Structure 1
Amino acid sequence: MNVRRLIPTAALAGAVALGATALTACSGAGATGGKDGKLGVTASFYPMQFLAEQIGKDHVKVDVLTKPGVEPHDLEITPRQTAQLGEADVVLYLKSLQPAVDKAVAQSGVKNVVDAATLTKLEAHAASGHGEEGHAHQDGDEHAAETEGHSHGEAGTDPHVWLDPAKYAEIAKGVGAALEKADPNHAADYKRNTDELVGKLTALDTEFKDGLKSTASRTFITTHSAFGYLSERYGLDQEGISGVDPESEPSPARMKELQEIAKKENVSTVFFETLASDKTAKVLATDTGLKTDVLDPLEGITDKSQGADYFEVMRSNLKNLQKALGSK
């Protein structure tokens, strides 16, 4: 079982303060330079958009760089979008997740930037939960990098922090502090909205803890190894299928390994995601006699998503995990 890492209160307070000070406050009309006098916030992709909308509500106008249905890691940004990025009052992104966004932010010259990666502690997660000592969490793990299929942060850190409600709440606090700094006239509203959102995320964390407390298996197989933080938080083991291309079949060696793991760990289901092909999952499931189901990394919401927002999709993920793991 993975060991849960706790962030000291002092460290969290420092991270929140960093998020607030990293954003240069505008004064006068510039503080609400967005459309209709609202604070203009540009978010890199859905999890950042959701935070901005939930905390800013009627005081903000949120634009998102990654449109629904676009795989965030594959996003390409035009020079025009880069120029528009520089006109935002606030830019909210997660450094290392989307190289194109990192580059655009650097080129835009925008000063009011909130990097969500500074608001919580990023960790390294291997694609496989089974290493020589039971769990692999090594920086620069080659297999993990191959399975992810996209750039991770420095030292091979995993950017998928929003899939852990507790870490997402830490980021929400930092975003709230940043919006208060950018638009002090509505600071009380941002603070109240942040507290409300953190309360909902804390409740969701409790739902996952209770819902996954007792299961027949603690191991699940997924095509996208995005669930390292979720696994660590709730004592699960994530097994990622090798190969960066969702259209490709897993290697024979990995197939054999996963077959052995599935038998040993009582695995019933191979998970795939809504924004990528399910071909790899179906190949493995057919060869191992397992079922397939959706485990959504929540990088975007479309009409195919199992829910209309973050909370609905996360609860669908919980239900699917409970079913696959044999919740008691």
Structure 2
Amino acid sequence: MPRVLLAALLTLAVVAGCADRPAQADGKLNVVTAFYPLQFLSERIGGDTVTVTNLTKPGAEPHDVELNPRQVADVADAGLAVYLNGFQPAVDTAVAQEAKDRAFDVASVVELLPYTEKSEEPEGGSRDPHVWLDPVRFSTIAGALGEKMAAADPANAAAYRAKAQELQTQLQSLNQEYAKSLASCQRHELVTSHSAFNYLATRYGLTQVGITGISPEAEPSPQRLAAVAEQARETGTTTIFFETLVSPKVAETIAREVGAKTAVLDPLEGLTDTSSDYFTVMRANLAALTEALGCTS
């Protein structure tokens, strides 16, 4: 075969490959998500007509995730890349370089709260990324994601929109459960090892007291530990919360200091139990909160 003809055929193959990027060989929309809550939304809205690849492995802490070459290639091949800009720098870079025209930044459709927790963490003035812990904001993201999927795969647009609406109804019901259960509580201070719960606290009239800042790996200073312990005593805190993906030692230190117990409050950054999902974890969190705060519905 003449070289000119061969080169022309190869060029056509590349163009055809790019044109088919939004779907795999089986015809499903190829969706790449940055971390678990966005994987959850994509799978629930996409159903059987999408294939979802999550860039943060189960049980991994997503804040400082690094991508290997295979994962960068997954982003490049995505029909839709779903991420939260500013949360995971490696993902932000991969999306900007490989999928800028096929990306959905969930922060573009909801207002992000400023990070206000008083600690020594360098990014203390940044935006708080943990928006999925507010079911109302998460519902807004679900609706927008349904529209993004509909635009990326018009043949299944009606199904995406219907499933997004169904999911939004479920999230609104979850919001009502939280609002009712947390409406009357003896205590309103939420002492946590990781400052991940400001969206939840703001939505339901609670006050977050974080031992560490936005990053769960940050080490609190002795001054910060002393300040949190003093506040816990003043407010009669009975429970110090820790999360599933990091060590409970900091929470245990405060608990011993003030005579409180510890319990899990899951920020839902990643699942450790594959039999659970967003709704089961959020309801487990609600049960833990109502007990710790002395709530009566």
Q: TM-score under structure 2 normalisation?
A: 0.88
Contact 1:85 1:110 in 2 (8 A): no
- The alpha-carbon deviation at position 270 of structure 1 amounts to 0.7
- Who is 1:254 aligned against? 224
Distance 2:60 2:250 in 1: 19
Q: Which amino acid aligns with 2:66?
A: E
- Who is 2:11 aligned against? none
Residue 35 (structure 2) pairs with residue 65 (structure 1): no
Q: Quick one: structure 1 residues 110 and 60, their matched pair in 2 at CA, closer, same or farther if it must change by over 3 Å?
A: same
Alignment of 1:50-61 (within 5 A): 50-61=40-51
Contact 1:87 1:110 in 2 (8 A): no
- Who is 1:10 aligned against? none
Q: Which amino acid aligns with 2:29?
A: L
Residue 246 (structure 2) pairs with residue 272 (structure 1): no
Residue 200 (structure 2) pairs with residue 230 (structure 1): yes
Q: Quick one: structure 1 residues 247 and 144, their matched pair in 2 at CA, closer, same or farther if it must change by over 3 Å?
A: closer
- Who is 1:240 aligned against? 210
Encode CA deviations 1:133-185: one digit per residue, 9 max, x unaligned. Answer: xxxxxxxxxx2745xxxx68xx6111110000000001111100100111111
Q: Any idea what SS the aligned residue of 2:20 has?
A: helix
Contact 2:80 2:104 in 1 (8 A): yes
| 1:184 alignment partner, one of 146, 154, 160 | 154
**Any gaps of 5 or more consecutive residues in structure 1?**
1-25, 129-142
Residue 140 (structure 2) pairs with residue 121 (structure 1): no
- Who is 1:20 aligned against? none
- The alpha-carbon deviation at position 287 of structure 1 amounts to 1.4
Alignment of 1:1-328 (within 5 A): 30=20, 32-127=22-117, 143=119, 145-146=121-122, 156-242=126-212, 246=217, 248=219, 250-303=220-273, 308-328=276-296
**Any gaps of 5 or more consecutive residues in structure 2?**
1-15
Contact 1:86 1:110 in 2 (8 A): no
Q: Aligned-pair RMSD on alpha carbons? A: 2.2
Encode CA deviations 1:294-313: one digit per residue, 9 max, x unaligned. Answer: 1111011112x8x6000000
Q: Any idea what SS the aligned residue of 2:90 has?
A: helix
4+ long deviations beyond 4 Å? 243-248
Q: Quick one: structure 1 residues 216 and 75, their matched pair in 2 at CA, closer, same or farther if it must change by over 3 Å?
A: same
Q: Which amino acid aligns with 1:313?
A: V
Distance 1:172 1:94 in 2: 13
Contact 2:139 2:171 in 1 (8 A): yes
Q: Which amino acid aligns with 1:160?
A: H
Q: Quick one: structure 1 residues 242 and 63, their matched pair in 2 at CA, closer, same or farther if it must change by over 3 Å?
A: closer
Q: Any idea what SS the aligned residue of 1:37 has?
A: coil
Distance 1:108 1:72 in 2: 20
Q: Which amino acid aligns with 1:219?
A: E
Contact 1:82 1:107 in 2 (8 A): no
- The alpha-carbon deviation at position 80 of structure 1 amounts to 3.3
Q: Which amino acid aligns with 2:260?
A: L
Distance 2:281 2:252 in 1: 22
Q: Quick one: structure 1 residues 30 and 283, their matched pair in 2 at CA, closer, same or farther if it must change by over 3 Å?
A: same
Q: Quick one: structure 1 residues 163 and 252, their matched pair in 2 at CA, closer, same or farther if it must change by over 3 Å?
A: same
Distance 1:216 1:144 in 2: 30
Contact 1:247 1:280 in 2 (8 A): no
Q: Which amino acid aligns with 2:233?
A: K
Q: Which has the larger radius of gyration?
A: 2
Contact 2:193 2:216 in 1 (8 A): no
- The alpha-carbon deviation at position 101 of structure 1 amounts to 0.5
Q: Which amino acid aligns with 2:189?
A: T
More moved, 254-263 vs 186-195: 254-263
Distance 2:187 2:221 in 1: 25
- The alpha-carbon deviation at position 259 of structure 1 amounts to 2.3
